[in-house]
Amino acid sequence: SLTGRIPTWLSTFTSLKVLLLSSNQLTGPIPSWINSLNHLFGLDVSNNSLIGKIPMILMEMPMLTSDKPAIYFDPSLLDLPIYVDDANAKLQYRMGSAWPKGLNLGKNKFTGMIPQEIGHLEALTYLNLSFNNFYGEIPQSICKLTNLQGLDLSNNHLTGAVPVPLENLHFLS
C-alpha cells in the first residue's frame, strides 16, 4: 500500500508501458514528470485521494494520442480481463496491438471542468473519470474519442445535456 505522493523514482522508468497505482493511499496531484513516460499507454490511478485538475500534460502523451500500437508487451505480466471479439472470435489480448489504451482517474478528488483537450486522446479505448468532483458540461471534444469502448463519467457534478455526437461512438450502439 503506497502512501503520499506518486513516487518520483517512477520517472526513471521511461520505457514503462502500463502504470497501475490503483487502490492505494496516494495524495497530491498527478506529477508533471508523468510525461517523461513516453511509452505509457495505460494509466490507472483510481481509488486514491489524488487532487487538482486533470493535468494538461496527460493530453500530450504520445501513446495516448497516436494510433501507434502498444507493441512489445507481454500480456502475462498483468491480470486483466480478456475480451472476445465476436467478429473473428479471437482473444483480444493475444496480440500486443490489441492491448487497450486506457486512462482511469476514477474515485479520486479531482476537481474542475473536464478539459476540452480530452479530445486529443484519440487513441483511448477506455476513459474513467467517475467519482470525482468534476463540474460543468461534458466537453464536445470528448466526441473525438471514436476508439472508446468504455466511458464512465458517473458520480460527478456534471450539468447540461450529453453531447449528441456521443451517440455515434460505436460502443454505445
CATH at 113? 3.80.10.10
Grid coordinates given for 151: 466511458
Q: Tell me the C-alpha distance between 34 and 52, whole Å.
A: 15
User: How many residues are there in the chain?
Assistant: 173
What's the Cα-to-Cα distance from 31 to each of 10, 56, 79, 123, 154, rounded to whole Å? 11, 11, 26, 22, 25
**Total domains in the fold of the chain:** 1
Instruction: Give the helix/strand (H/E) hosting 44.
Output: strand 42-44
What is the CA 93 to chain-centroid distance, rounded? 18
What's the Cα-to-Cα distance from 74 to each of 12, 40, 79, rounded to whole Å? 21, 14, 11
The pLDDT value recorded for residue 82 is 42
The reported pTM is 0.81
Domain containing residue 164: 3-172
Q: pLDDT per position in the chain (173 positions), as tens?
A: 899 999 999 999 999 988 999 999 999 999 999 989 988 888 999 999 999 999 998 888 877 776 665 544 444 444 444 444 444 444 443 334 445 688 999 999 999 999 999 999 988 889 999 999 999 999 999 999 988 889 999 999 999 998 988 877 766 54
